[in-house]
Amino acid sequence: MTPARFKGQPARLSHTLLAAGALLLAAGCGRSDPAATAGGRAGVLLVGNGAEIQSLDPHLAGGSVDHNVLCTLFEGLLTLDEQTLTPRPGAAERWETSADGLTYTFHLRRDAKWSNGDPLTSRDFLFSFRRALSPKFASEYRDALYPVRNAEAFAKGRVTNFAETGFAAPDDHTLVITLAQPAAYFPTVLRANVCFPVHAPSVERDGARADDRTGRWTNARPLVGNGPFRLVEWRDHRHLEVERNPHYWDATRVRLKGIRFHPAESTQAQELAFRAGQLHTTWDVPLTKVAVYQRESPGLLRVEPYFESYFIRFNTRHPVLRDTRVRRALALAIDRAAITRDVLRGGQAPANALTPPGLGGYQPPAAVPYDPAAARELLAAAGFPGGRGLAPLELSTISSEINQSIAEALQAMWRKELGIEARILRKEFKVLLDSLDTLGYELARGRWIAEYPDPLTYLSIFTTGNGVNGTGFSDVRYDELVAAAAQAPSPQARLEMLRRAEAHLLEQMPIAPIYWGSRTTLVAASVRGWKPSPLGFRNYKDVWLEP
């Protein structure tokens, strides 16, 4: 999922340690660098980002840490209100929907510009949608656009003429998108990275092709975007800084002078930097500190609803894990209530399915209970009674406290209930993503935050060939059930079909659900305009700082 591959794990791990160490050093020395403190950098928001981003190319990057940065540099046709998830204008000042729910007509702002002053037109969006769907470019997130007429057929090479898809630009300021079937959630998809426009002259600089996946165009400076901020510098594994974009259509309402993102997978390092005044916000809060802040500084702690699903991915091509009985045994031996109660303690809920309840009115099936007796029976039926004859399995995770604690809990549960040994491998986030792409793992930590408020944002992941599947799982029946949901005669029938699809997915068990999330963060008292965000994104143009 990342265009820029590093070649040695030790080098990557050392970068992570250096980044975490820099924050720890800064925090340990107090406010030794006034230029980096909340007071000394007036008007610049200092943000703890959970990890280094994958890429500055929005059609290649897709994680929540990526979107946290990219939404400052790029803007889609529309965005969402963080709290209500209702669509609000972005690059399009208004839009209409046809009576049959199939056609959306977007009217672009006539004062919309790229950060270099070039006009932003509907043809820029056509270029960008075509690029994201191009079979050669093969964006891992292109399926978000599949509700559009012939978009999937174009992405899979069955339609070669982009003019036959449902994207059209009658003039420079009008964009028409026609769907294959009504999908009421579709406007909310347009907030995703894959729907951001990219600047064609930048992408095709020096004769490069639009479908070049290297992302080299993002290395040139200045980086051209259309968001409320523009890039100042990116020091890999150190920080990424943006400043207010004077060419942005709503620049007069952007109150921050800039934002500096600090990547750190160590929650402890972020919390120390926050207390030292070197971060205004953290990505997470150390598990041991949640109760402390609740008791001593409740005004700084935010515990918010979050459409997050945490699970374990199984490499279904692995010689042992290709057996559904082994995967199911591992899943049924997990005491999810104990993990959320005794390990996390941050408002998370035990997950007995993949999709969080309440997403677009959806209620998932209760498909994965805690049943260690049934787990032992399944393991014995697979030929490994009491775990005998089964070599230790490797569980890949990332180095933050939360992920390490969950991995250790699973390790203990599998040893106690099944006699299975698990070896924990800690990897940098980018390295973990790389291993998912190549199926270079056995068991791996998985986490997905909804990109849009509909269950399909989860259930499409495990369809055959999805770019973020990461399990090797392919099941014709599952694909059929997900596809049939799009043809359902009513919204309720559609949700029921998706429920059947999820039940089938969890019978096959390419993943083992662990918990549904809530988000705990620290936010300084000087930060204003910070809303609860169930999808985890932020409209930074609405945020400002006060002394």
pLDDT digits (tens, 9 = 90+) for 111-168: 999 999 999 999 999 999 999 999 999 999 999 999 999 999 999 999 999 999 999 9
48, with CB counted inside 10 A (0-12, 13-18, 19+), is: buried
Q: What is the CATH number of domain 306-519?
A: 3.10.105.10
Task: Count CB neighbours of 118 within 10 A.
Answer: 16
Q: Give the pair of three-digit tokens for residue 34.
A: 């006034």
CA distance 256 to 546: 10
Residues of the chain with CATH 3.40.190.10: 9-265+523-545
The answer to whether 141 and 194 are in contact (CB under 8 A) is yes
The answer to whether 335 and 416 are in contact (CB under 8 A) is no
- The pTM assigned to this predicted structure is 0.87
Which residues make Cβ contacts (< 8 Å) with residue 281, sequence separation at least 6?
45, 46, 47, 48, 274, 521, 522, 523, 524, 527, 530
Residue 539: is its pLDDT beyond 70?
yes
What single string gives the DSSP state of each residue in 429-478? HHHHHHHHHHT--SEEEEEEE-SSSSTHHHHGGGSTT-TT--S----HHH
The answer to whether 135 and 156 are in contact (CB under 8 A) is yes
pLDDT of residue 13: 31
CA dihedral 183, 184, 186, 187 (to 10 degrees): 150
Residue 372: is its pLDDT beyond 90?
yes
Most confident of 221-225, 236-240, 484-488: 221-225
Residue 399: pLDDT band by 50, 70, 90 thresholds? confident
Residue 6: is its pLDDT beyond 70?
no
CA distance 493 to 464: 23
The CA radius of gyration of the chain, in Å to the nearest whole number, is 23
CA distance 339 to 346: 11
**Lowest-confidence segment of 112-116, 376-380, 426-430, 528-532 by average pLDDT:** 426-430
Task: Count CB neighbours of 4 within 10 A.
Answer: 16
DSSP 8-state secondary structure symbol assigned to residue 252 = G
CA distance 480 to 454: 19
Residues of the chain with CATH 3.10.105.10: 306-519
The answer to whether 271 and 498 are in contact (CB under 8 A) is no
The answer to whether 352 and 537 are in contact (CB under 8 A) is no
pLDDT of residue 37: 52
For 40-71, write each residue's pLDDT tens digit. Answer: 457 999 999 988 998 999 999 988 999 999 99
pLDDT of residue 19: 46
Q: Which fold has domain 9-265+523-545?
A: D-Maltodextrin-Binding Protein; domain 2 (3.40.190)
For residues 354-382, average pLDDT: 97
For residues 272-298, average pLDDT: 94
Please confirm whether the linkage preceding 119 is cis (ω < 30° from 0). Answer: no
Distances (CA, A) of 57 to 193, 195, 209, 461: 9, 11, 14, 21
**Lowest-confidence segment of 87-96, 182-191, 374-383, 398-407 by average pLDDT:** 398-407
pLDDT of residue 252: 97
pLDDT of residue 18: 38
pLDDT of residue 494: 96
pLDDT of residue 348: 92
